[in-house]
Amino acid sequence: MELDKRTPLKLKVIHFLRLIIAKVARVFFSLYYYNDSKTLPPITSDILKEPAIEVARKIRHKEITSMQVLEACIKRINDVNSQLNCFVENRFDKALKEAREADELVRNGTKTPDQLLQEKPFLGVPFTTKDCIGVKGLHQTAGIVSRQNYIAEEDADVIRLLRSKGAIIIGLTNVPEVCMWWETHNHIFGRTSNPYDTTRIVGGSSGGEGALQAAAGSIFGIGSDIGGSIRMPSFFNGIFGHKPSRNIVSNSGQYPKPDSDFINSFLGVGPMTRHAVDLKPILEIMAADNANKLKLNEPVSVGKLKVYYQINNNAPLTDPVDPDIETAMLKVVEYLNVKHKIVAEEKKISLLRKSMAIWFSNLKTTKHFGSYLMKDCGYLSIIKEIFKNIIGCSENTLIALFTALIDLGGVKVDSDKYKSYLKLRDELEKVLKDMLGNDGVFLFPTHPTPALYHNEPILRSMNFSYTAIINCLGFPATNIPLGLSREGLPIGIQVIANHNNDRLCLAFAEELDKAFGGWIEPQNST
């Protein structure tokens, strides 16, 4: 990957040295984890392999019961969680009661299947969410030790909306500390492992949810995304994940709570599923009154879309895109040409090289990140805590402490440099907005590499630039799985559309799900 000619020499040198160190470290990690992966047991219940909308249909038509589906989920969670450590708290007893009530509503015949479809389209369908989205009566730790006894007093808006449509929340999945890193690990619940290779990461911050969905532990999941926290775990775990357009889905009930309307616009709550057809109906419920803005039920002809793509963002300190991912993207481009006569246009948007600088600056607030970790979050206190971590005496993860230290520096809110990055964001948003119009989609890597080994992200920390920049710009984006790499790890791309054109992303995801096979059962990869 070539850096822009305007990149300072010092940064070019740092970029080169980082690539060398990362390559050497990769050899170490591969030797350390050699033959250490654990294979998951096969999925024994076929119902877990079906789309959520099909599970719901079968429950309404008495072909299966909600109890049967829930019991299959519980069994699957118990079968895989010792290997994956993705599921951290259950409400099985209450869920079983709700499943019995759902089955009784179907049995008594007071409502026809069509009426149930209109009023409770996900009646009796079990789902899960990450441990930072409030579920009444369950913990809401966000992976922070000081919050390990905190119990949510009410459901987050998205959970309430889904439950009102008949879905049954069955538990919580693991997250990184403060939900601000792309490997899922904290000092309450530990580290989560990838279903395709347990020596690899699951991404973050919706990493536990990504792993559980890939392993078919619940029928669908809910994640949140401020820098790629839905799309990266979906990518690493070979599932579909959608970050909605800005300000469409309510963020109420999440922790940490966005500090301002501006930061709130970067954060999106969205569905994580094994099947593309589930994304739209789940999003429609979650969007509530804002669903009208998305025109989700307006037909989309993929063959009439304008398609653009870019393979590398050329951002400093970011890895070049893996050849397997590049090949997968080009196969999509070829498929579109053969199937729909679409000639996708390759782009080289130079402003994307500033993705991380824009994201870090735009996300800056007057509240220090360290305040989520400790009362005194000054330099000396954080450095002291880092030393405590090294000797195993800290409640905080090392990456969270480094993040807190870095956050004390950087650009200051309302400084001239801060304002310049706001302006750059506006310029980039306009470039993409003008390009996409109302009938365009942009194909872009979700991440430059397949899932890394545990702890390896610290040496490739800026690789989330491909997803993070889309949060700043407020566009909808969907991760689409495209098979497995040569190492047997999931790969894919994200598809991006203009504001409130989520339906284009979702239609494109459904098209590629059918064409490229979508989700692959993890045990089949070994």
pLDDT digits (tens), the chain, 526 positions: 556 656 778 878 888 899 999 999 999 999 999 999 999 999 999 999 999 999 999 999 999 999 999 999 999 999 999 999 999 999 999 999 999 999 999 999 999 999 999 999 999 999 999 999 999 999 999 999 999 999 999 999 999 999 999 999 999 999 999 999 999 999 999 999 999 999 999 999 999 999 999 999 999 999 999 999 999 999 999 999 999 999 999 999 999 999 999 999 999 999 999 999 999 999 999 999 999 999 999 999 999 999 999 999 999 999 999 999 999 999 999 999 999 999 999 999 999 999 999 999 999 988 999 999 999 989 999 999 999 999 999 999 999 999 999 999 889 999 999 999 999 999 999 999 999 999 999 999 999 999 999 999 999 999 999 999 999 999 999 999 999 999 999 999 999 999 999 999 999 999 999 999 999 999 744 4
The catalytic residue among 229, 265, 461, 525 is 229
Catalytic residue among 58, 66, 120, 130: 130
Taking the CA atoms of residue 283, residue 286, residue 291 and residue 295 in that order, the dihedral angle to the nearest 10 degrees is 0
Determine the pLDDT at residue 351: 97
> For residue 491, what is the enclosing H or E element?
strand 490-497
Distance of CA 262 to the CA centre of its chain: 21
**Cis peptide bond upstream of 256, omega within 30:** yes
Q: Please report where in the chains the tokens 């950087």 appear, as a residue.
A: 410
Give me the DSSP letters along 210-250. Answer: HHHHHTT-SSEEEEEESSSTTHHHHHHTT-EEEEPPTTSS-
Residue-by-residue DSSP string for 154-220 = S--HHHHHHHHTT-EEEEEE---GGG-SSS-EETTTEE--BTTBTTB---SSSHHHHHHHHTT-SSE
CB atoms within 10 A of CB 396: 26
Give CA–CA dist 102/96, Å, rounded.
10
Quick one: angle between helices 355-362 and 416-436, nearest 10?
120
Q: Which of 66, 120, 193, 205 is catalytic?
A: 205
Structure tokens at 98: 């709700």
Measuring CA to CA, which residue among 138, 402, 369, 400 is closest to residue 263? 369
Burial 268-281 (b: 16+ CB within 10 A, else e): bbbbbbbbbbbbbb
| 3-state DSSP of 325-394 | HHHHHHHHHHHHHHHHCCCCEECCCHHHHHHHHHHHHHCCCCCCHHHHCCCCCCHHHHHHHHHHHHCCCC
Separation CA 501–CA 474 (nearest Å): 11
Q: Please say if 229 is a catalytic residue.
A: yes
Instruction: Fill in the DSSP letter of residue 66.
Output: H
pLDDT attached to residue 526: 41
Q: How far apart are CA 464 and CA 452, in angstroms?
A: 13
Question: What pLDDT sits at residue 21?
Answer: 95
Helix (H, G, I), strand (E, B) or coil at 269: strand
pLDDT of residue 409: 87
Two structure tokens written together for 209: 């949810």
Which single residue is written with the structure tokens 């009646």? 123
| CATH no., domain 80-86+124-364+411-516 | 3.90.1300.10
- Residue in 447, 426, 503 with CA at minimum distance from that of residue 227: 447
For the question of residue 205 being annotated catalytic, the response is yes
If DSSP codes are grouped into helix, strand and coil, which group holds residue 318? coil
pLDDT of residue 366: 84
d(CA 126, CA 394): 36
Cβ neighbours of residue 494 closer than 8 Å, sequence gap 6 or more = 231, 235, 443, 444, 445, 446, 466, 467, 470, 477, 478, 479, 480
Domain ranges of the chain: 80-86+124-364+411-516
pLDDT of residue 480: 99
Q: What pLDDT does 10 receive?
A: 81
Q: Of 187, 235, 198, 183, which Cα lies nearest the Cα of 213? A: 235
* Token pair listed for 67: 């109890």
Which of 432, 430, 433, 373 lies closest to 405 in space, CA to CA?
373
